[in-house]
């Protein structure tokens, strides 16, 4: 409508819409956090948000599937599905009793994730929370990440406690009997 009135501002070809704006906002917020408090602390702040997101997403899937708990194969399908719904390209590489290994060819944050590895805490916490709440335990290791300059992501969700002390892996535990 503004173009019809000849308004040059409204007609200007500016690559701005809500999705790009929100991804850029998250990029700048995570970058500022990383610069001010460091990567580890920034990841900690983002993990709090990821946990809240994980709780909501888990509840949404359980409600939609009309189940009290998701089994391991369904957890794997839910984790892939949720990423596909937000324009990620996650897929299962391997699924065993003790782990689910995911690959990813496209980050939901797009190019805005580059140089912002703290944003990977969203994946770690959402995956970890959903797996732990439904299966009792999860340890998430983001072995490769687009945010760190890798061509894709490789995320391992261990379902049993391990002996390794990989500092990248984060543990998640089921909360009570909710």
| CATH classification of the domain holding 23 | 3.30.1380.20
Q: What angle do CA 112, 116, 121 make, to 5 degrees?
A: 110
Q: How many residues does the chain have?
A: 178
Beta bridge partners of 163: none
Pairing of strands 137-144, 90-96: unpaired
Task: Tally the domains of the chain.
Answer: 1
Say what the pLDDT of residue 1 is.
47
Q: Is residue 178 part of a domain?
A: no
Residue 57 pLDDT greater than 50, yes or no: yes
Q: Is residue 155 part of a domain?
A: yes
Q: Is residue 1 part of a domain?
A: no
User: What's the domain range around 21?
Assistant: 8-173
3-state secondary structure of 52: helix
Q: Is residue 99 part of a domain?
A: yes
Q: Is residue 149 part of a domain?
A: yes
Residue that has been written with the tokens 């995956």 in this structure: 127
Residue 2 pLDDT greater than 80, yes or no: no
Banded pLDDT at 75 (limits 50, 70, 90): very high
Q: Is residue 2 part of a domain?
A: no
Look up residue 60 and give its two tokens.
Answer: 């949404």
Say what the pLDDT of residue 82 is.
96
Residue 178 pLDDT greater than 90, yes or no: no
Residue 47 pLDDT greater than 90, yes or no: no
Residue 81 pLDDT greater than 80, yes or no: yes
- The string of pLDDT tens digits covering residues 125-173 is 999 999 999 999 999 999 999 999 999 999 999 999 986 667 778 999 9
Q: Is residue 3 part of a domain?
A: no
Measured between alpha carbons, how far is 36 from 39 in angstroms, rounded to an integer? 9
Measured between alpha carbons, how far is 8 from 110 in angstroms, rounded to an integer? 30
């Amino acid at each position: 409508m503004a173009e019809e009135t000849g308004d040059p501002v409204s007609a200007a070809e500016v690559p701005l819409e809500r999705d790009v704006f929100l991804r850029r906002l998250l990029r700048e917020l995570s970058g500022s956090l990383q610069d001010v408090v460091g990567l580890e602390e920034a990841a900690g702040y983002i993990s709090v948000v990821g946990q809240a997101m994980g709780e909501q997403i888990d509840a949404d899937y359980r409600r939609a599937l009309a189940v009290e708990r998701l089994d391991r194969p369904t957890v794997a399908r839910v984790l892939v599905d949720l990423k596909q719904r937000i324009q990620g390209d996650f897929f299962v590489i391997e699924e065993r009793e003790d782990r689910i290994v995911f690959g990813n060819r496209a980050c939901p944050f797009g190019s805005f994730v580059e140089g912002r590895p703290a944003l990977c805490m969203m994946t770690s916490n959402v995956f970890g929370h959903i797996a732990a709440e439904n299966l009792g335990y999860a340890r998430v290791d983001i072995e490769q990440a687009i945010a760190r300059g890798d061509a894709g992501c490789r995320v391992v969700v261990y379902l049993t406690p391990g002996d390794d002390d990989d500092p990248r892996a984060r543990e998640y535990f089921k909360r009570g009997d909710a």
